């Protein structure tokens, strides 16, 4: 494949020093992912100020669908990137390109099926997401115009991972920045001057994600160096190979999909608990935290995604010392980022909430009081994601999946159900931090125990 003359970074996964190599990937990834998370946050700000608390609550009802699409994209992106990294370390470029193509094709078919079901049964879909009769009209309108973005965001998620592996993290960052800026401009124009409300916010997101997806396709068709699209055959052997590779991608990346699914479960469970205790105002207050959670996730995921190609490549090359150094750096970075996010949310709670809600709305005071409690989850979440990403990168799919279930379901749902009975409204806000802390404790203890056992066996 002919290389194009892009101003790309010099990335040597096999021999480059781990620290500078991680930083070369991390800072562009961090900037790009923070801008990408702005797609969700900007929706919340413009809907909250332009439509009101009911609008922001309706958007929060539909948000799990978008997160599922993102989860599928990250699942295929992580799976394809890990496998392609290992194939590249084995000098099997053609196999890496086949994996790249299969990831896009299989994932788009899956996302397309989800979109068709949602389009055919809109009211039933928002009802299943916990929507009340009062919010149904806005929720349906937002969902229908958001559906195209689910296809586009999938392409973005897969493309980001593979473009970084191809040695162009700055190109990936630019794509995410362009999409985020487009979303800001379109959101403002469609919600305020045009007055299209939640429909305008959803349409703006779809257009912005479409721009990002188009730039991804252009990269793989014109500018890629090693990875690119490979024409798949329609023979039975090729189809069976695609199914096999797709299954393995899903197996490796499933923990990442579960992370997004767990956030959807968090939102679904939280919406039901908040609405049962505090009504629609409670859902609107919780929605502010849900809009901010993508920032927490994006920063944590930037750490994991930056370490992933380094760990996977060196794992495939059997360079275990380099794998350990990459994990060590990623854990330190995750801890620093987690503490920084928590402090920012603690100190800026009132100003942040004011971006979304008017001080005269009932949801405002609920969000101001609850956000500092919710913010304590950031450190534990970041460390958990770093560990889960590490186990994915070394093909330990069962371990990464189990830890994701532990933090996102096994500890989370009981925390939402039990803590409010003990601590009242504060318990609603502390459910997520409690689940992340419990999971982090288990993960760290198991990791240290494994290291001690390994040393003794030597």
Q: Given this model, what pLDDT does residue 4 score?
A: 44
* Cα–Cα distance measured from residue 67 to residue 72, given in angstroms and rounded to the nearest whole number: 9
Q: Given this model, what pLDDT does residue 380 score?
A: 93
Q: Given this model, what pLDDT does residue 243 score?
A: 84
Q: How confident is the model at residue 6 (pLDDT cuts 50, 70, 90)?
A: very low
Cβ(219)–Cβ(171) below 8 Å: yes
How much is the pTM?
Answer: 0.69
* Cα–Cα distance measured from residue 382 to residue 386, given in angstroms and rounded to the nearest whole number: 6
pLDDT tens, position by position, 271-286: 778 877 788 788 788 8
Phi, psi angle pair for 75, to nearest 5°: -60, -50
**Residue ranges per structural domain of the chain:** 20-457
Q: How confident is the model at residue 306 (pLDDT cuts 50, 70, 90)?
A: confident
Residue owning tokens 């793989």 = 220
**pLDDT exceeds cutoff 90 at 384:** yes
Q: What is the mean pLDDT of residues 180-197?
A: 86
Q: Given this model, what pLDDT does residue 455 score?
A: 59
Q: Given this model, what pLDDT does residue 1 score?
A: 39
Other Cβ atoms closer than 10 A to 233: 11
Q: Given this model, what pLDDT does residue 8 score?
A: 45
Q: Given this model, what pLDDT does residue 333 score?
A: 93
| DSSP class per residue in 348-415 | THHHHHHHHS-TTSHHHHHHHHHHHHHHTTHHHHHHHHHHHHHHHHTT-HHHHHHHHHIIIIITHHHH
pLDDT tens, position by position, 54-87: 777 777 778 778 878 888 888 888 888 888 888 8
Of 354 and 235, the structure prediction assigns the larger pLDDT to 354
Q: Given this model, what pLDDT does residue 336 score?
A: 93
Burial 88-115, CB ≥16 within 10 A → b, else e: bbeeebebbbbbbbbbbebbbebbeebb
**pLDDT exceeds cutoff 90 at 50:** no
Query: SS3 for 149?
Result: helix
Among 299, 242, 314, 260, which Cα is nearest to 80's? 242
**pLDDT exceeds cutoff 70 at 10:** no
pLDDT tens, position by position, 116-169: 998 899 888 888 877 777 778 888 888 899 899 899 989 988 888 888 878 788
Q: How confident is the model at residue 444 (pLDDT cuts 50, 70, 90)?
A: very high
Q: Given this model, what pLDDT does residue 215 score?
A: 93
**pLDDT exceeds cutoff 80 at 340:** yes
DSSP type of residue 225: S
**pLDDT exceeds cutoff 80 at 374:** yes
* Cα–Cα distance measured from residue 365 to residue 37, given in angstroms and rounded to the nearest whole number: 25
Angle at 92 between CA 309 and CA 77, to 5 degrees: 40
Of 419 and 409, the structure prediction assigns the larger pLDDT to 419
Q: Given this model, what pLDDT does residue 40 score?
A: 66
Q: What is the mean pLDDT of residues 16-26?
A: 84
Q: Given this model, what pLDDT does residue 364 score?
A: 85
Residue owning tokens 């916010």 = 201
Phi, psi angle pair for 35, to nearest 5°: -65, -40
């Amino acid at each position: 494949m002919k290389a194009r003359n892009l101003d790309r970074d010099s990335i040597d996964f096999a021999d480059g020093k781990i620290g500078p190599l991680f930083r070369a990937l991390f800072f562009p990834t961090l900037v790009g992912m923070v801008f990408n998370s702005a797609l969700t946050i900007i929706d919340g700000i413009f809907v909250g100020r332009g439509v009101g608390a009911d609008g922001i609550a309706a958007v929060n009802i539909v948000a799990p669908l978008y997160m599922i699409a993102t989860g599928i994209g990250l699942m295929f992106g992580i799976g394809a990137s890990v496998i392609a990294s290992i194939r590249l370390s084995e000098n099997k470029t053609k196999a890496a390109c086949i994996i790249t193509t299969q990831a896009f094709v299989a994932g788009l078919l899956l996302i397309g099926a989800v979109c068709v079901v949602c389009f055919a049964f809109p009211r039933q879909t928002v009802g299943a997401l916990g929507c009340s009769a009062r919010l149904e009209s806005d929720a349906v309108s937002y969902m229908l115009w958001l559906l195209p973005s689910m296809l586009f965001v999938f392409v973005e998620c897969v493309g980001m991972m593979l473009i970084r592996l191809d040695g162009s993290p700055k190109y990936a960052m630019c794509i995410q920045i362009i999409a985020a800026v487009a979303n800001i401009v379109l959101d403002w124009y469609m919600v305020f001057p045009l007055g299209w409300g939640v429909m305008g916010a959803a349409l703006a997101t779809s257009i912005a994600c479409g721009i990002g997806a188009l730039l991804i396709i252009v990269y793989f068709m014109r500018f890629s160096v090693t990875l690119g699209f490979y024409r798949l055959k329609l023979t039975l052997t090729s189809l069976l190979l695609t199914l096999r590779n797709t299954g393995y991608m899903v197996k490796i990346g499933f923990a990442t999909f579960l992370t997004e699914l767990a956030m959807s479960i968090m939102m679904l469970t939280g919406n039901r608990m908040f609405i049962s205790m505090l009504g629609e105002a409670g859902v609107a207050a919780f929605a502010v935290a849900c809009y901010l959670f993508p920032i927490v996730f994006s920063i944590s995921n930037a750490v994991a995604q930056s370490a992933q190609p380094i760990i996977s490549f060196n794992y495939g090359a059997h360079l275990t010392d380099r794998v350990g150094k990459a994990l060590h750096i990623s854990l330190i970075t995750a801890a620093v980022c987690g503490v920084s996010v928590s402090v920012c949310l603690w100190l800026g709670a009132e100003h942040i909430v004011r971006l979304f809600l008017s001080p005269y709305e009932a949801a405002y005071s609920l969000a101001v009081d609850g956000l500092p409690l919710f913010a304590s989850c950031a450190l534990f979440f970041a460390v958990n994601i770093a560990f889960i990403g590490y186990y994915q990168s070394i093909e330990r799919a069962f371990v990464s999946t189990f830890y994701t279930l532990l933090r996102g379901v096994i500890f989370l749902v009981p925390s939402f159900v039990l803590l409010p009975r003990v601590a009242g409204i504060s318990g609603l806000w502390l459910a997520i931090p409690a689940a992340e802390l419990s999971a982090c404790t288990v993960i760290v203890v198991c990791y240290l125990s494994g290291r001690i056992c390994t040393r003794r066996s030597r």
